[in-house]
Amino acid sequence: MKGFVANVLALCALTVAISAQPLTAAEFSMSTRGGKGFTLETAGDQVTQKTTDFVICGETVETITKVKLWMPEHGHGSSAVQLGVTSEGCRVVNKVNFTMRGLWEVRLELNDGDTGAFELDVE
């Protein structure tokens, strides 16, 4: 029984050690035309067609009224995303659907008419 308990404790310690490893994330920065700075962060180390959400942070993040996915090379967008709040200074964007690989823009519109876009290379 002592051997079993020791094995369970060792497995628990290994599980805690593995889950304590930092997750890699892709992070992008941009400034709007009016000079407001924002960052965009994904859970994975790259943006892929499987990316379904990301977080946008910035001092004026609460002024974002619209987020739109746009593929400039093809002249089309994607389905509408859902904009929510995660914490002070950050907003989560859900229902992200990059329909194909390539260069995409995540376009922001702010309540004062200011705009900006992140450029993402979707794998």
CATH at 109: 2.60.40
pLDDT at 8: 35
Within a domain: 3: no
Location of structure tokens 């599980």? 15
Give the mean model confidence (pLDDT) for residues 31-42: 97
Lowest mean pLDDT among 30-34, 36-40, 87-91, 105-109: 87-91
Q: Which domain holds residue 75?
A: 23-122
- 31 falls within a domain: yes
Residue 58 is assigned to a structural domain of this protein: yes
Does pLDDT of 123 surpass 80?
yes
Q: What is the domain count for the chain?
A: 1
> In this model, does residue 5 exceed pLDDT 60?
no
Q: What angle do CA 34, 74, 110 make, to 5 degrees?
A: 20
Q: How far apart are CA 4 and CA 85, in angstroms?
A: 46
Mean pLDDT, the chain, rounded, equals 85
